[in-house]
Every structure is written in C-alpha cells, then in structure tokens.
Chain A
Amino acid sequence: MAGSIAASPSSDSPARFDLRRLLRALLPALSLALVLTAIAWLNPRAISYFGFTLMLNLAIPIALATIAQMFVIAGNDLDLSIGAFVGFVGCVTATWLRDAPLIGVAVLLGCIAFYAALGALVYLRNLPSIVVTLGMSFVWQGLAILLLPKPGGKAPDWLLATMGVKPPFVPFPILAALVIAAVAYVGLMRTSYGAILRGSGGNPVAISRAGWSLLKAKMVLFACTGLFGVLSGLALIGITTSADANIGNGYTLLSIAGVILGGGEFVGGRVSPIGAVIGALTLALAASPLLTFMRIPPDWQVAANGAILIVVLAARVLISRKESDR
C-alpha cells in the first residue's frame, strides 16, 4: 500500500533515481513557475521586489493555513473549520491581543489545547473528523461574531511591524514562505516523531503494534493544526490591520486545495510540506494577480480560478498515473 511506503522514512531518500518520481515531486514547483511566467509575460514590472511583496503578501496566511490543514490530512482527517478558526483567531488578535495581551495569549494557547482535545475526541470516539470540524466551524464563526459583531478592531503594533519588515534583496513573503516550508519539512519529514505522525495516517495498526500511542499522535497532529491556524490568523491580521468575523471563510477550501496541489493525498499519510507551501503560493497568485493582469472580467474570475485548479491537478495526475502504471 502507498501508506506503508510513506510511513518509512526511506521513501524520502533518493534510493534510486527515477525521472517520473522526480517530475511528480517537482510538479508543484513547475505549476508555480508556470503561473509566474504567465504573470511576467503579462506584466513584467510585477516581477520585482515591490511587485512580489504586494502579490504574495496574502499568500503568507494562506500558506500557514495550508500547513495547518496538511497536519490533519497527514492523519487521514480533514479540517473543515480551519477557515472559521482563522477568522476567530483574527478577531481575538484585533481585539484582546491588543487591549489585554495576557488574555489574548491565553485564549490563543487555549485554542491550540482545544484542538488537541478535538483530536483526542475524534480518536477516542472514532468520529468522522469532517462532521466534528463542520460543527466546530459553526462554533468558531459564532464566537467570532460575538467578539466582533462588526468589522473592526486593530492589529497590535508589534504584529504590524513584524509583517511589514522589508528584508534586503529577498521580499518578505518569499522569506516567510521559505521559513514556513523549512520548519514544517524538518518537523514532519526529518524527525523520528514526524515519521510516527505520518505513519499514524499511513498504517495506524503498524504504528500501534510498534508501541506508539495513536491517541498522542492524533492529539499532536491536531495541536499542530491549531498552532498553524493561530499563526495564519496572526499573519492575516498583521497584513489587513483590522478584522472581520468572515475574514477567513475562503481558507477552508483554499487550504485543502493547496495541500492536494502540493502533492498530498487525502489518505495514507502522504503529504509534502514544501509542496503544500508551493501549492498555497500558486493558488494565491492564480487567485487574483494573474487574473487581474489577464483582464478577466470579475464575473468570470471565480471560474478562471476553478479552471486553473483543474488544469494543474490534471497535469499532476497524468504524471502520477504514469508512475503507477509501471
């Protein structure tokens, strides 16, 4: 099974060179390059320090949300509440975190603990995560509305300063994406416990027989989702400066699409942190800058989004089908 392969760390090391496998691994990067080429062709001035900073700014929270989603998907679950959760975190950030930092920090840490508890609930009662998180999406949305009935609030100054950093040569969003990808990659793909976490999705029985606690693995995966969800909300508010209860709603589907675009699978613990970040960047770029430069009328922008998603995934599947046909 694919899962058992993914569970063993050896699948990551290039034991034998394989062109198709390499192609498959490179596909997220190729699709990003394709979108970038299109943008460069349509508007060469966009390919600059300033252009990238503008175009990719909103990609940081999307990338973080995608990594959050990736952790639950690694455990064969799905988080349909991540968008609402990011929105709630945003509301906490723009209100409590500024006015009463201690309460704000406590609430955000509490959220992560709550996510871990959700993981425990899903595991212990053997619940479908889709429904549990569907229910939770109502909860987060409701809490966000209670906290901030009207759009408003203001990001804490330290957060604005962090998100507004202008490092030399490399635009901040690109630097941030590199750091996010590196942290998630090392954590999930290069540590021994990361292998256990992926294994809990790939072959839970084997992991359990080997003496590892599946309960703990599930809780850690969900806690990681909570952590990156919180980071995504913080980053989002750092960019938009104020919050709105519905601000993260599109993130649920974007994050799932990003993980899949980046080479992840829904089952079997097969995910790729680097691919996920690249997938998120591709989606963020394809979502608006590309369409604006193509002068697509607003009515059809959503359709173009869907079409881009279809094309990229079709290409990816063509390659992986050849791989499996051997």
Chain B
Amino acid sequence: MMGVVGRIVARPWIWSFAGALLVWLAAILFTRGYGAGGMLTAALSLAVFTVVVGVGQMFVITLGPGNVDLSLPANIGLASAVAMTVMAGDDGRVALGLLAALGCGFAVGVVNYLLIRALQIPPIIATLSASFVIQSIDISFGRGLQIKPPPGFADFTNIQLLGIPILAILAVVFTVAAGVLLQRTIYGRSVLAIGQNMRAARLAGIRVGWVRFATYALSGTLGGLDGALLAGYFRGANVDIGNEYLLASIAVVVIGGTSVAGGKANVPGIWGAALFLVLLLTMLNTFGVSAGVRLVLTGFIIVAVITAAGGQKASR
C-alpha cells in the first residue's frame, strides 16, 4: 500500500493536478458550492488552448537548454487571422481554413528552424526575432479585415457533452497521442535523447537536425491550430489573441514536471498545470480581488508550486 502511494507521490505531474483540485475546492468553498460544475466546464474549455500550445512547447523545451519557442503568440495571432480570412464566414470552407492555419503555423516553425540552423542563432533569440517579423506581417495583413468565424465552426468550438466541452475531449485524445509520440516512437525517443545529450545522440546515429526541425515545425503547427480554435471560440481573430500564451505555454510545461534542462518530458502534467492556472484565475476572480492582487497572488503561487514540486531533481 505504501509503495503505491509512494509511487503516485513520486510522479511529478500529480502535484499539478493536486494544485488544480485545491484551488477549485477553495473557489467553491467560497461560493458555497454554487457554480462548481460551471467552473469546471469553463476551466476545461480554456485549458484546451493552453494544452495545445503547451504540448508543442514541451517538445521544444525537451530538446535541451536554450530551446524554447517564443514565437507562439505572434504565430497564434497570424494563424487566427489567416484561418478566419480563408474561411470567410462560410461553413463549407472550415476544413480549408483549418488547413491554412496549420500550414501557416508550419511555415513559422520552418522559418524558426532555418534561423536556428542556417544562421546558428540561439533558439530564444531566433524565435524572438521571428516573432517580431510575424507580428508585423499580422498587423499589416489583419488591418481593416472584418474577421468573424463561420457560425458552424464557432458553435462547434463551444459544444458541450454532459457539461464537458467537446474540444476538451478532443484535446485529451490529442494529448494521449502526444504521449505515445513522445514515449513510443523513434521520433519521441530521439527528442528525449537529444535533450539528455545532443553530442551522444548524434554519435548514436540520431539525425539531430531532422528531429529538431520536426520539433520546431510541430510547435509551429500546433500554434497555428490553436490560433484557429481560439478565433472560433472567442468568435473573432485579432493580433493580440495569443499574447497570454507565451508565459502560459512555458509555465504549464514546467509546472507540469517537464525539466527545463531538457531530456525529461511529462505529458499528463500539462493538463494538470493548465487546469491549475485557469482555475487559479477563476478562484481569484471569485474572491473578487483587484487585478493587482490577482497578479501578485498568481506569481507567488506559481513560485510556491515550483518550489514545492520542482526541487527534488538531483543536481546535474
């Protein structure tokens, strides 16, 4: 019995779920149970968007120190505009629009990798510079556009089955697939190997360049998908739609138990961390605190969680 408990507690992702449960309980304790289910439904919906980009960011961060995709917000903004433009408010063109968003995100990922590889720029700076350029394209492209999603697509992103958003169900399927990709495929094991020791991975015959390329392309594509979904859910695209996902995507990856040093990833933790962050905001909103207090508490709670959960790693 103790062994089972010990093994569960040793899983790094359990803490993020425990944290999510805790803030949810605190919120419904405050409202005396009122709106408990609605809170969960809303949290599941919003967590989906963080989970999708979080998974992409997780693969990138797992590649090793310095690997991070800072172009996600700009990427999401551009893809949301592209998707809505291609869909043009017509339900028959939803698939085409989604494809365009995926393609747009993929292109961003390819550009990121080209900057990293061909110009040998550190990924942080490369994706940052790329995001500047993308942002300008988006501003110039999206100016004066009337961008609304097709009604069918917007409704689809808001459908619920027994209070569970359909997007959340799809996202769970998606994360399971991501978990399989990470742990059970040559690609996923290669990502982990590169994160542990790039030189050793190369000497072991892993085609490091291709794996890194695929990872940045994957992160970009997921950013594109997220942009299209966000534009559907919030019924409209805009330049700033992805802004909060820069910090959120990194935060869920690390709170979820993925090592920033690379080589150690955790898929379930992303869900726990995303729910935790969303429910944390819900809780603070329920308490009715001001924006400043909410930010301060969010910050301290993130630091506290990471201190409680992230400290057991053996030093390198």
Contact = CB atoms under 8 A, between A and B. Distances in A.
A and B: real partners?
yes
Interface of A: 121, 125-128, 130-132, 134-146, 149, 253, 256-257, 260, 266-267, 299-307, 309-310, 313-314, 317-318, 321
Nearest to A124: B311
Contact of B310 (A128, A146, A314, A321): A128
Interface of B: 65-66, 68, 70, 115, 119-122, 124-126, 128-133, 135-137, 139-140, 143, 247, 250-251, 254-255, 259-261, 290-303, 306-307, 310-311, 313, 315
A138 B66 contact: no
Interface centre among A125, A140, A301, by most chain B C-beta atoms within 10 angstroms, is: A125
Contact of A310 (B115, B124, B136, B299): B115
Contacts of B250: 130-131, 134
At the interface, is chain B mostly helix, strand, loop or mixed?
helix
A130 B254 contact: yes
A302 B135 contact: yes
B300 A126 contact: no
B66 A267 contact: yes
B135 A303 contact: yes
A135 B119 CA distance: 32
Contacts of A309: 125, 128-129, 132
B120 A321 contact: yes
B306 A131 contact: yes
Nearest to B119: A314
A146 B296 contact: yes
B310 A142 contact: no
Contacts, number: 147
Given A142-B294, A260-B124, A309-B125, 8 more contacts: A128-B306, A130-B250, A142-B298, A143-B292, A145-B295, A146-B293, A149-B292, A309-B132
A125 B295 contact: no
B307 A127 contact: yes
B72 to A, nearest CB: 14
A299 B68 CA distance: 26
4 closest A-B pairs by CB: A142-B295, A306-B132, A138-B299, A303-B136
Contacts of B290: 146
Central interface residue in A131, A253, A313, by most chain B CB within 10 Å: A131
B121 A253 contact: no
A266 B122 contact: yes
A256 B125 CA distance: 8
A310 B114 CA distance: 12
A134 B310 CA distance: 14
B254 A142 contact: no
Contacts of B132: 302-303, 305-307, 309
A310 B291 CA distance: 37
A260 B125 contact: yes
Contacts of B310: 125, 127-128, 131
B300 A139 contact: yes
Contact of B299 (A130, A137, A146): A137
